[in-house]
Structure 1
């Protein structure tokens, strides 16, 4: 819409469901934008050096600023544009110089995390907590020295090397995005090296421990069945509705099938919780970990061995819905700490976490002679470096490799000279 912008015109405007502009017929380039909330902001329109039209706010609104004052401000700004200035570029430069770590996370990085990472809330929480003292520092002020100083304080406070490295990894990812989006000129962490960490922990179950874990699972199932039968007897005597019977062979709940699947596939807990039935092919005995649920964002296919296949087949017969392990609302389970903690206690396992079932899967594959690259593919590691932690479990393969290196003996050398 084009019209002479006056106080009377602006007072008569009614907001619409979408923002709209009015271009002044008296001063070319001068205009106002009316938002759905009813606010009226003054602005100018002009062509950038690349030929694209853009709109620049004057930072003034009606009625706080009169039309005549706003038109004069627009006239001055349009004159600067005519002499070669680009106010949008100036505003971006000013914003760039003052953009703090806190503002960048809130205004830009949070949305990127939500779209591109598995744990956006956890990453944001880590950044806000670990770098609380630096949140109001402009991104352009960060240097390697400032980050080294932050790290020294954390070390003196007794923080573990691994924790500090994870904090810096999160910060490094943030700066990579800021550099990509041209908000900083160089990556401030290019010269910051990771702290040396102890060898990665690899924990697997001994034969006796695995027997105890399986026995604890079976005992838990028996208790649940007995409890269900007792409850139904009590309810029947009072003519209450009975609870569903646990048929022979059926699982009492999600815990046993989840544990058996984890031991036989090496899936991460998050991957198991988010698994859907349309990613499970019982006929071909294979399941797919989709990129959206994988930590590496890469799709991988895991063959199901007989126990994993039998477990999922039985669970499929008694489960409904699209999620393999649903909660009460049909959405993926989010909390299994209590049930898992009680199971570990019942099995008398020491220092054994849910993630250690993944280590157990990988360790026993390597000890059975499976090559590391195949183990890497099954685990979904992006490169072999992570898988190498299991290399020491295959000493016989190292021995076979060295045995292939043959050298001439002294006797053979004498025969050749004779």
Structure 2
């Protein structure tokens, strides 16, 4: 141990001298407890020693590497540490607690595993965590993250997925709230709560009558002679004369999405046992909004009745009929091929649900009725179709204004 007046020149002289045969400590002559040590490899590290106000043994806190921190910066950090210790704040303990705490990845995973939620929601959260949160924030200690850290991560996520970046922030914020209630993080700590999120515009894409005709043609072609084969077509579908044929369960799923207004997973997870043929109903036990009854049209029921029954699920997947049968996971590749053939490359599968609602609104059905058909739990959700609901509103305006005009004319 040596005592020197620590400054930039004196430290440089020490580091330029011959390597020590053991770690050597140098203490400052002016600020008690402040110093640096040099290892046998020549590396210098700033530190400060202090005794907690509550008593106990002396503690040593590393401040940073010599060269990374200037002598003046290290001295100021040491001074603050000693001052905090005098006020009862133990920075060494805080750092120890921080190292012992879980990471953001662990916090979000515990939230997903421990929170009561639907399996579909759990799956979505898991993908969001792995795809967006983990790459940018996963290894960071949950108690150490700041709003600035999270905002920067959100900006990076935004470069590849604007809306998904917002969903990731909502998930992270919920995980912090949940974690605070269970002591995972300090109460009130939520660096994702005040993030500036990306502005979102509701998607409004509805098929026109002419587009529905083209889609119908493409569906018939897909299940008969097949869609002209492209490299991106499914490798699991049979090829005939450079065309890809898609079975009735694929085309049937797409038709049912259009004819019922159901969500994709409601159709893909639909079991034959949930289909009440006599009453023309689907009795869904666990939709996005809970238990749901879908009233089937004659066209939808005819589509269901025309599908081959290969297993417990209406839309048969690869494991249809097997003991461990699972529902089909998605329709992405078949839809891309069929929609592309119909010239509807900008149409998403969920837009078929919007189309169902838009046709109803355009025909003058009440928004209440449309909301019931779609299974909306909140009437406000159906209001997005209000601007399409023109005819009944115009009829009401004509009735009211007609009476007023008649009165004004003295008739």
How would you bin the TM-score normalised by the shorter chain?
A: 0.5 to 0.7
Matched, 1:384 2:379: yes
Whether contact under 8 Å (1:114, 1:120) holds in the other structure is no
The equivalent residue for 2:11 is none
**Cα deviations by residue, 1:86-106 (Å, 9 ceiling, x for unpaired):** xxxx9xx95997222122244
SS at match of 2:347: coil
Offset of 1:383 from its aligned partner?
Answer: 2.4
The equivalent residue for 1:287 is 282
The equivalent residue for 1:300 is 292
1:215 to 209, 212, 217: 217
**Cα deviations by residue, 1:274-327 (Å, 9 ceiling, x for unpaired):** 100111101000102222xx233x111111101111111222xx3133211122
1:125 to 117, 124, 127: 127
Offset of 1:134 from its aligned partner?
Answer: 2.2
The equivalent residue for 2:39 is none
Offset of 1:252 from its aligned partner?
Answer: 5.2
In 1, Cα distance between equivalents of 2:156 and 2:369: 42
Against the structure 1 CA distance between its residues 312 and 139, is the aligned structure 2 distance closer, same or farther, given a 3 Å change threshold? same
In 2, Cα distance between equivalents of 1:323 and 1:404: 50
Q: How does 1:164-243 map to 2 (within 5 A)?
A: 164-184=165-185, 185-186=187-188, 188=190, 189-192=192-195, 194-198=197-201, 200-223=202-225
Whether contact under 8 Å (1:300, 1:377) holds in the other structure is no
The equivalent residue for 1:112 is 114
The equivalent residue for 1:30 is none
Whether contact under 8 Å (2:336, 2:345) holds in the other structure is no
Against the structure 1 CA distance between its residues 213 and 105, is the aligned structure 2 distance closer, same or farther, given a 3 Å change threshold? same
TM-score (norm 2): 0.61
The equivalent residue for 1:324 is 314
Offset of 1:376 from its aligned partner?
Answer: 2.6
SS at match of 1:301: strand
The equivalent residue for 1:230 is none
Q: Which runs of 5+ in 1 are unaligned?
A: 1-89, 225-250
TM-score (norm 1): 0.60
The equivalent residue for 1:333 is 328
Q: How does 1:14-413 map to 2 (within 5 A)?
A: 98-106=101-109, 108-112=110-114, 116-131=118-133, 132-154=135-157, 158-159=159-160, 161-184=162-185, 185-186=187-188, 188=190, 189-192=192-195, 194-198=197-201, 200-223=202-225, 253-291=248-286, 294-296=287-289, 298-315=290-307, 318-330=308-320, 331-403=326-398
Offset of 1:382 from its aligned partner?
Answer: 3.9
Whether contact under 8 Å (1:300, 1:378) holds in the other structure is no
Whether contact under 8 Å (1:269, 1:354) holds in the other structure is yes
Against the structure 1 CA distance between its residues 256 and 177, is the aligned structure 2 distance closer, same or farther, given a 3 Å change threshold? same
In 1, Cα distance between equivalents of 2:127 and 2:267: 24
Whether contact under 8 Å (2:362, 2:391) holds in the other structure is no
Structure 1, 177-186 or 273-282: larger mean CA deviation = 177-186
Offset of 1:150 from its aligned partner?
Answer: 3.4
Q: Which runs of 5+ in 2 are unaligned?
A: 1-92, 227-245, 321-325
RMSD across aligned positions (CA): 3.5
